[in-house]
Chains A and B, each alone.
Chain A
Amino acid sequence: MKRILLLSMVFSFVFALSSFAQRTVSGKVTDETGEGLPGVNVVIKGTTTGVTSDLDGNYQISVPDDNTVLVYSSVGMATQEVSVGARSAIDLSMALDTKMLQEVVVTGYGIERAANEVTYQTDRVDSDLLMQGQQQVAGAGLVGKVAGMQVNVQNNGVNPQTQILLRGNRSITSNNEAMIVIDGSVATVGAFNDLNPSDIQSINVLKGANAGALYGSRASNGAVIISTKQGQYGQDFAIGVNTSVTFETVAYLPDFQTKHGIGWDGGYNAIENTNWGPRFDGVVRRVGPDFPDGYILEDQMLAYAPIEDNLRDFFETGKTVQNTVYFSGGDETGKFFMSVGNVSTDGIVPQDTYERNTLRVNASKKMGKLEFGINSTYFTDETNVVGDDIGDQDRPLYWFILNTQSNIPLSSYKDWDNPASYAHADNYYNAYYQNPYWAIGTNRDTDKTNRLVGNVYGSYEINDKLILSSRLGINRLAGTGKNWRDGQEYNEDLQPAHTTVSSFLEDSEFQSVEVNGNVLLSGNYDLSSDFSITPIVGASFIDYEYRDSEIIAVNLSIPGFYDISNGTGELGGTVDQSRKRTYGFFADVTLGYQGWAFLNLAGRQDYTSTLPEDDNSYFYPAASVSVILSDAIPSIASGNLLSFAKVTLSNATVYNDLGTFALNERFFQPDYFPYGGVNGFEQTATAVDESISKEKLNTWEGGLNLGFLNDRFSLDASLYRTKITELITSVTPSVASGSEAFLTNIGKLMSTGLELTVSGNVLKLRDFSWDANVNYSSSETIVRKIKDDLKEVALDDYGTYGTYAIVGEAFPQLKATSYVRDDQGRVVVDASTGDPLIGTVDAHGKTTPDYIIGATNKFSYKGISLSATVDYRTGHIYFSQGSNSMEFTGKSKESVSANRQDFVFPNSSYDQGDGTFVENNSVTISNGVMGFWQNVWNDIKENYVKDATAFKVREVALSYTLPSSVTAKTGFLKSATVGFVGRNIFTKLPEQNRFSDPEFRNTRSTDDENGIGIGGYLQSPPTRSFGFSLNVEF
């Protein structure tokens, strides 16, 4: 009922906006080869009324009279004006614009600028490219498509989360993510992830700190400016449907040994979670508890032999169905775009489901000199996945799967609820870790969220040179969640090692509201025939508020009833709130000379609530120039090769403030309190530097944009250097200082980087076309100074391994306990035991790549198009925490590399007792059957430092668009495209990296800002997807 109501509202709105003019002109716009040109704007000169040509170049426009002049424009094409006269059909051939780069860049606050005028480097991803892989989350559709942008897809549950970094990591412990702007209003990565990707028109990426002058501190890591689809003035009403169905399967699992199965210390053991048994021999043996006589089950007897894909069979084929219906249109003074979207996902983990609904309304109206509008999206979702604190050891699901030996038919244990089944808790074979199917049935984490992101704006044309505009935006998230675990008791005789699993219910509510607004006065003056000036002055504010509360009930009385009233004993609970306000004033002036030289000066004064009252504001300036060399000195572009050349140079400073409430050390109530009437508060573990203040980033950027062969090819290059001083960092002090973290300003970091993008049309043969875009980015951050004579600080310290900032080294460095090596590089072993000595915790390399290459190739033939995006990252390492954690169980390939025998450690030596080392040819390691691997190999964490290089085919898309001759015949169809997509269909990792995707982060939550360099076992295995899509417009 609700949906019908909604649809009827939509339609009535549509008809209200529709209007009819006196007469119609139609025709076809083609390029120089005669191919129809889609997306050409046809506008009545002197008005904003216009239409856009369809996929085949056809258009139809209502014109008031014969004196009308139509303006035809399209990106990369020379704009043409045509007088209509008495004609009713106008076909037009458009030529490539020699100033191809004269495209529009959306900069701060929705301000559109001709690309030539932009004095710093930007990049752009349009809807087609973004939607190429039919990604459920827009961020994932950006991977590999923008130089200098690193998108990490950090988990692969039913609702994947992404991290968007521009130009690498600049902050040691605070947020490195780029600022997100949606339709001119400041938003968040969460809001971006919650957008319906098919609502997005384009994404402009402002890579440098220059965006900071307009947006303030949050843009110090660059800005991702998202523009959602708008209707067009004068556009006919259109209805479109985008549908896709994708199927997701496990791409690969850790590469484990399949030679030894269940057992301990070389002996067979029927109830172990470990793989230290004898070599597989195929003999049928008991697995699991020894059932007493007369029990409902006979002992489970299984051949002691590996079962292929026994873990993979646990996972199902996931399915995602995405549907979007959109409506758009407009008349001379109004335009709108509306969409309704739904995503429904079944995950690869049985019973994991996700459902998302989105509704978008964008509309605007002109009333004389006044224009106002609204952009808004309402989002709801519902997640139901397996819980994370499973069993008596509070482990994630994947742990239970990984702790299953290769001789166990895991997928045969589905019937966990049946007491007469081997899958039942009392009968399950594994004495230490529970049946994963049981885990799925008894641990659920569910939540429902809704989000409203939108803004209203108005602008007033004071005169033809001056516009006053204002925008008020909101980003409101609210939700509730329930996370529960059912209790489980065990038969003590059958499962002596298990203790009762206690039940709990966590009932949570969370909400955040961010209100932001700005007012801008912008002008555009020609000072003389040579000079122009484009000034902007403005002010903006952001007010952010957050509240999260949770009530925890334990030891539930009624099984299967999940309400806090069902708990026994005291209820637990927390409330967490946060609030931050900032505002700022800014001015931005661009001086132009003859349309080929531009100077931009900008400054901003910011005020923040998070710094001390007497030091809570700061001013920062930015200056930049750009010169279109090919216009300034036309002779350089007069040859056949070079057709366009532009250089830019900019310098910008930005300050960053502190986190909310971080200024003051605070007390908290520890978990243990209160004890009845005795309450207690504890001093925070984080010590705060009394003189802590803002951090400063200064960036120089040089850019070069070249066009070749009449702009058929383009080369964009930028080189930058960012100096970060007084970095706000939470360093790890000695615990003997009485604190576990110390928030302070430290030293100096220097980031340098290079970005190159080459793109263009490689081949064009009548109907066939090959377009390519290759981007390369490299960036490196060197720690120049920390503090006083401090040489290193720990960032994420696990004792025997962790990430560090080390003076003189690239940041961050991964450290781990290492082998002791002699002067010839041989591994030093103990002369009597033969075991390698466990050395100190040493640095092994950096966790950020030397470079990332992304490439998208698109081949088109008539209506058929094949495109693919790949990316490659290398030069970095990561710590494979999953391999480290699993070593104890004897699953690793290394543990069978010497057939579980004692062996002479390769390339080793020992101390002869006098400090000289002799090659070890005879002393073998001890306890090769198990102890060596658990206690020596596993203690040298260097063994788990892995090359993080990865080559991934992220997206492949094949599509076919019906010819317009066919669609036209139908009389109602404007366009139709069917497609096939594949995502992550191929991944190549170095052989040593056997465990998982180095991109995944080692945390179950998404709270941790910088999960870099430590990869865990907490995420499900990497997946690949295939699917189909259908896009139709009426």
Chain B
Amino acid sequence: MKKHIFIYIFIATLIVSCNNYLDVNTDPNRPTSVTPELMLPVAQNYTARWMKTDRRVNHLGNMIMYNWSESAGFSWYNDEFQYLANSTTFYDELFDDAYADALKQYSLIASQDPATLGVYVASANIMMAYTYQILVDLYGDIPYSDALQRGTNPTPAYDDAEDVYAGLLVQLTDAITMLEDAEANELTVYPSDDDTIFGGDTEAWKQFANSIKLRILTRANGVMSSTDVSSELAAIVTQGSGYISADVMVNPGYINEDDKQNPQWEDFGEDSGGSETLSGQATCATDYIINLLQNTNDTRIDYIYEIPLSGSHNGVPQGITSSADAGQGPDDVSNIGPGVMAGYDMGATIFTVAENYFNQAELALNGFGGDPQTLYESGVQASFTSLGAGSATAYYGQSIDNVGYAFSSDKLEAIITQKWLAVNGITAEQSWFDLSRTGFPSGLPVSLEKSGLVRPVRLSYPASEVGTNAVNVPTSPNAFSSTIFWAN
């Protein structure tokens, strides 16, 4: 009998130890859960990269808006010069990276408990709204309400573009409310350095939310009824935080290390060893923009574009494919300038205060209140200021069309043209959306590889969606004629 007991004990020990034996499925190198202060900087860093790195959002805007061209000896921008916007692989990273990187991470933060993490949740929602609006402006209908559910919904449905816009306004309003609730809540955990945009300043977040709302309203005005626009604007006023007063920048503390520099500098500036990057050498001003800046006595020229070794600015028409044109090599032409890209440690601007003034000016011009000229001139000055170009008074005091407000024949064209100049190199995609919507700035050339003034008005859905979400992705709209809803 005793013997049996020992056997039972032995077997029991064996089973117990076997259970422990298999308890080795924990990854020692990757945690299964982390706190939001470790998630937030990753998400914001991805936003900066999505906006500013090589062949991402800002880059596309600069190519289509004729701001940037190609130095001789490079075969860098063939696709851009041909406007291959009907291709499913043309700038498809804009769609892919938005969802796979930033939105994925924001969505995770947005799912945290607002009882204590309201500031995190709200700021994540504001950044999601920021990202989704640009996606709508690039693609039209996009996955929104069904998106970001990972394994729960591997093939999300597409939402109507206009519905997404409406949803974003609600999302932003809710986020502002959540921030107000959080401020009143003693348990609230505030971000600090981990909020690499506002350092946990809830008022700044509310202002940013209002500025995104303003961007939405400016663009949707006309499709949205003026009553709706008025009431949304009234709500912003009632809320009381106002708009952003400085450029919105991501800066986690960029340092001179590979992968850790300002993302635009990393691709178009110098690597950590101090040598100029290939993309930086390949990218330069167009002849048109150089002439325009010079003809309007715009002192921003030396900040938006770098002065070549020769001492005088030099631009290249888009679409010259010959590989050895004398006088147009990387050192002969105006590359991206020091106001746009000051160094590896500069913050990455994702929203300019200048644009916010121009958005206000446009709505003021359309009768929603405010003085358009003051707002316009504030916008121009904000652009000069952020580039480091000093006072703009002399510039906008000139009697030149689309420079001096009072002198300009078409006030809307003046506002949009100045916005285009203000976001050049920084958030240039905004000027593309304006062009598709308003037709301004007028007279912008197209690439020599294209005949006729036909420029894409949108992007095609990416190859990845065609391959993996075929049941939902809309049939490819024509990128040259199928405008986004706000341009209809």
Q: Which positions in A face B, CB cutoff 8 Å? A: 264-265, 267, 269, 271-272, 392, 431, 487, 489, 492, 496-497, 499-500, 502, 554-555, 569-570, 572, 574-577, 579-581, 583, 607-610, 613, 616, 660-661, 663-668, 670-673, 675-685, 687-690, 731-740, 742, 744, 789-790, 793-794, 797, 799-800, 802, 815, 838, 840-841, 934-935, 939
Contact = CB atoms under 8 A, between A and B. Distances in A.
Interface string B82-125: 10100111001001100110011101100000000000000000
B31 interface: yes
B78 A668 contact: no
A744 B322 CA distance: 51
A485 to B, nearest CB: 12
A156 B363 CA distance: 67
B29 A575 contact: yes
A489 B275 CA distance: 9
B147 A736 contact: yes
Nearest to A798: B463
A392 B150 contact: no
Interface in B452-468: 462-468
B194 interface: yes
Interface string B68-89: 0000011100100010100111
Contact of A737 (B155, B194, B331, B467): B155
B219 to A, nearest CB: 22
Interface in B368-395: none
B186 interface: no
Given A581-B24, A613-B23, A733-B154, 15 more contacts: A264-B324, A489-B275, A554-B258, A667-B34, A673-B41, A675-B41, A675-B196, A675-B252, A676-B255, A678-B252, A734-B465, A734-B472, A735-B100, A800-B463, A840-B466
B465 A265 contact: no
Contacts of A392: 278
Contacts, number: 250
B239 interface: no
A738 B100 contact: yes
B95 A732 contact: no
Chain B, interface residues (CB within 8 Å), range? 35 or more
Given A499-B281, A665-B32, A680 B39 contact: yes
A661 B31 CA distance: 11
Interface of B: 18-19, 21-34, 38-42, 45, 73-75, 78, 82, 84, 87-89, 92, 95-96, 99-100, 103-105, 107-108, 142-143, 147-151, 153-156, 193-194, 196, 252-260, 271-273, 275-278, 281, 321-324, 329-331, 462-469, 471-472
Interface centre among B24, B154, B466 (most CB of A within 10 A): B154
Given A392-B278, A671-B259, A738 B31 contact: no
A549 to B, nearest CB: 10
A392 B260 CA distance: 19
B149 A738 contact: yes
Contact of A677 (B193, B259, B278, B330): B193
Nearest to A554: B258
A499 B277 CA distance: 6
Pick the 8 closest A-B CB pairs, nearest first: A733-B154, A500-B275, A734-B469, A799-B463, A666-B30, A736-B143, A680-B42, A687-B150
A664 B32 contact: yes
Nearest to B254: A675
A666 B32 contact: yes
6 contacts: A487-B273, A672-B42, A675-B260, A676-B253, A732-B467, A799-B462
A676 B19 CA distance: 42
Nearest to B96: A735
A685 B147 CA distance: 15
Given A499-B276, A499-B278, A934-B78, A737 B153 contact: yes
B326 to A, nearest CB: 11
A673 B39 CA distance: 11
Nearest to B150: A687
Contacts of A934: 78
B103 A738 contact: yes
Nearest to A575: B29
Given A681-B42, A841-B463, A569 B257 contact: yes
Given A555-B272, A576-B29, A577-B28, A682 B105 contact: yes
A682 B101 CA distance: 9
Contacts of B22: 581, 607-609, 613, 616
A738 B464 CA distance: 13
Contact of A554 (B45, B272, B329): B272
B25 to A, nearest CB: 5
Nearest to B32: A664
Contact of B469 (A736, A740, A838): A736
A122 B25 CA distance: 35
Nearest to B48: A672
Contacts of B143: 734, 736
B145 to A, nearest CB: 11
Given A269-B324, A499-B275, A735-B95, A742 B150 contact: yes
Nearest to B330: A496
B272 A569 contact: yes
Given A502-B273, A738-B107, A580 B24 contact: yes
Contact of B465 (A608, A661, A671, A736): A736
B27 A666 contact: yes
A735 B468 contact: yes
Nearest to A582: B22
Contacts of A732: 464, 467-468
A681 B277 CA distance: 28
Nearest to B97: A735
B26 A661 contact: yes
A675 B89 contact: no
A683 B108 CA distance: 8
Contacts of B33: 667
A327 B392 CA distance: 92
Nearest to B266: A672
A354 B156 CA distance: 51
Contacts of B18: 583, 607
Given A672-B260, A733-B154, A738-B107, A661 B25 contact: yes
B154 A742 contact: yes
Contact of A496 (B31, B73, B87, B468): B73
